[in-house]
Amino acid sequence: MLNELHIQNLGVIQEATAEFAGGLSVVTGETGAGKTMVISSLRLLSGHRADASRVRSGMDKAVVEGIFTTDSPAVGAMVDEVGGFMEDGEVIASRTVTAAGRSRAHLAGKTVAAGVLGEFSGHVITIHGQNDQLRLLDPARQLAALDQYAGLEDAVAAYRELRSQWKKLAKDLRTRLETRRELALESETLARAVETIDAIDPQPGEDEELKSQIQRLQDADDLRAAMQQALAAIDGAEDDMEAQGASELVAQAAAQLRGDDAQLQALAERLDEVAVLLSDISAEVGQALIDVPDPDSLEELLQRQQELRELRKYAVDVDGAIAWRDQARERLASIDVSGEAIEKLQEQVAEAWAAMIASAKKLSARRSKAASAFAAAVTEEIRGLHMSAEIRVEVTAQKISDSWEPASPAPGSRGIDEVEFQLVQGGNANPLASSASGGELSRVMLALEVVLAAGTEGGRTMVFDEVDAGVGGKAAVEIGRRLAKLAVDNQVIVVTHLPQVAAFADAHVYVAKSATDSTVSSSVVTLDEDARVEELSRMLAGLESETGRAHAEELVEMARKAKAELQD
């Protein structure tokens, strides 16, 4: 329940604190005093969008803080998750809105996202305003209301789990079917590429080796001439018998230095080493001369080089192309384009579909069975609110095949049913959305809350913003009676302008307005019994008078007796 609400710089309220107890609390005040700021504050604490225009003129920010008491395990888990603090079930939620439009939210002393406040408020408070009445016209909310009355929430959750499993399998199947075509194309492309590379049969490093060979062939004549001249210099020219080569001259020099002198002998030995080295070099140059490729093979090598260039579509060089081919072979081995896996998955999808549809049909049968009783209960309540009409609840089941087909339309998140609330007046049944006035919607919403609350454990905080709009007379008294009935097991907070409703309050909060030439401010006070009678008198007659006061006292006494009957 909501224990305390603190408001600072929100609208016309500069600073105010309202304390709430269990039972029925009403909020009243003159037009423009800022009663709706109480609802705006609670909506901010519920994570709704922050509106900078709500910040009091001239102020930097508005702050709203609420102190709640709850024993909800879900709330306890949320507080633990954000690392907050709560004691004896008491949780503090706050929201700050700056004049620039920025917003900050706090829960249990920790900064949180506004959405977290929304989740928190979903466990502790329900707000009914005129916009909420309009949302009552949404078929999805009407379906949810019927499910709540029939106690089908667990069954709906089980259905949703089956639907989630089917959707997951169906998505997997669709992806696999699409991928199957893509994999087949990929497999064909890879196989063709591997076949092309195998036909070329590249060898590691072949492109670089070819490049070197072609370069040597193109320079073959120059290479031969250079090597022949080098051999002539080392060994002497073959066509000139008198010309001496470097090897012979070195040998002669070594022979001249040999003798008894140790220093010259060492030099002779070094010349012998040079002679051996020249002999080795001469042999290698001679072999290189033999290995110079035949220029006639140049065309063949150029043709092979052109073949290898075909591999550039796969990699920048031959080694890269070979590596790509090896990876392609591995990929080909991993691609399964057989239909066995698809057929098995199709069977699983069909089984999941059948289970989902069976669950949906059970839900539909239970809804159809509960619809009449639900309609009768709501009708009884609205007639008690002096509304000469009847509520009908039409349940229409979508026609869906028991067996799955790829083109089958999928059922919704709550099953195969569509629910429509109808208002029957003068023998004519029309959708509630097109036939109910604002006052009638208010009464239907209140009737729904009374009927739905009867099947719950209670303990909620329920807030109604002018649920009595467009209502007066005896209907207003009955609205007060039903709000008091809701307040037996719940905390109910009502913003009202009707004294017939306010008379049923266990606590009366008054929003007082004070105005100067330049500003309007409001304060919030909890009225004692005498002040409460004075406020009811003002609400009845528009001014304080003995007649109005007597009427107010009579109204309070009537409400007290009615509440005593509810307690019994």
Query: Residue 10: which CATH number?
Result: 3.40.50.300
pLDDT band per the 50, 70, 90 thresholds, residue 441 = confident
Residue 146 lies in a domain: no
Residue 37: its pLDDT value, please?
83
Beta strands in 466-560 (DSSP E): 491-495, 507-515, 520-526
State which of 302, 334, 366 marks the end of a domain: 334
What pLDDT, on a 0 to 100 scale, did the predictor assign at position 466?
A: 72
Checking if the pLDDT of 91 tops 80, the result is: yes
pLDDT value of residue 130:
64
How many domains does the chain contain in total? Answer: 2
Separation of alpha carbons 27 and 492, rounded Å: 11
> Does 64 score more than 90 pLDDT?
yes
In this structure, is residue 464 part of a structural domain?
yes
Q: Which two tokens stand for residue 406?
A: 């790829």
Exposed/middle/buried for 564, CB within 10 Å: 0-12, 13-18, 19+? exposed
Please report the pLDDT score of residue 240 as a whole number: 66
Q: Is the pLDDT of residue 163 over 90?
A: yes
119 with 8, same domain: the answer is yes
Judged by average pLDDT, the poorest of 202-211, 254-263, 503-512 is 254-263
Mean pLDDT of the chain: 85
Q: What is the pLDDT of residue 371?
A: 95
Q: What is the rounded distance in angstroms from the CA atom of residue 76 to the CA atom of residue 61?
A: 30
What's the pLDDT band for 517 if we cut at 50, 70, 90? Answer: low
**Among residues 334, 357, 385, which one ends one of the domains?**
334
- pLDDT for 519 equals 67
Is residue 467 one of the residues assigned to a domain?
A: yes
What backbone torsions phi and psi does residue 423 show, to the nearest 5 degrees? -105, 120
Measured CA to CA, the distance from residue 6 to residue 15 in angstroms comes to 8
* % of the chain residues with pLDDT over 70: 93
Alpha helices (H) along 385-437: 432-435
Name the DSSP letter for residue 466.
Answer: S
Residue 248 lies in a domain: yes
* DSSP secondary structure string for all residues of 162-220: HHHHHHHHHHHHHHHHHHHHHHHHHHHHHHHHHHHHHHH---TTHHHHHHHHHHHHHTH
Do 205 and 85 lie in one domain? The reply is no
Percent of the chain that is helix, strand, coil (3-state, to 5): 55, 20, 25
Full residue range of the structural domain in which residue 509 is found: 1-129+437-527
Per-residue pLDDT averaged across 291-311, rounded? 81
Q: Model confidence over 383-439: pLDDT tens digits? A: 888 888 899 999 999 888 888 887 778 899 999 999 999 999 888 889 887 887 777
Residue 353 predicted with pLDDT over 90: yes
Confidence (pLDDT) at 404: 86
380 part of a folded domain: no
Reduced to 3 states, what is the DSSP secondary structure of residue 548? helix
CA 275 to chain centre: 86
Q: How far, CA to CA in Å, does 49 sit from each of 101, 111, 113, 128, 316? A: 10, 17, 12, 17, 58
pLDDT for position 166: 94
Cβ neighbors of 58 (< 8 A, separation 6 or more) are: none
pLDDT for residue 503 is more than 60: yes
| 461-465/125-128 β-pairing | parallel
Least-confidence region, from 36-40, 350-354, 487-491: 36-40
Per-residue pLDDT at 82 exceeds 70: yes
Strand partners, 421: 393
pLDDT score for 357: 94
Is position 444 within any domain?
A: yes
Do residues 91 and 461 touch, judged by C-beta distance below 8 A?
no
If asked whether residues 219 and 301 sit together in one domain, one would say yes
- In this structure, are 220 and 120 located in the same domain? no
Residue 369 lies in a domain: no
Q: How far apart are CA 283 and CA 525, in angstroms?
A: 117
* Residue 217 sits in the same domain as residue 321: yes
Q: Could you tell me if residue 428 is inside a domain?
A: no
pLDDT confidence tier of residue 542, bands split at 50, 70 and 90? low
Q: What is the pLDDT of residue 32?
A: 72
User: Quick one: pLDDT at residue 370?
Assistant: 94
- Six token digits for residue 286: 């001679």
What is the C-alpha end-to-end distance of the chain, expressed in Å? 24
Domain boundary among 334, 360, 379: 334
Q: Based on the domain organization, do 205 and 115 belong to the same domain? A: no
Chain centre distance of CA 339: 35
pLDDT for 164 = 95
Residue 199 has pLDDT above 90, yes or no: yes
- Exposed / middle / buried, residue 348 (Cβ in 10 Å: 0-12, 13-18, 19+): middle
Same domain for 215 and 99:
no
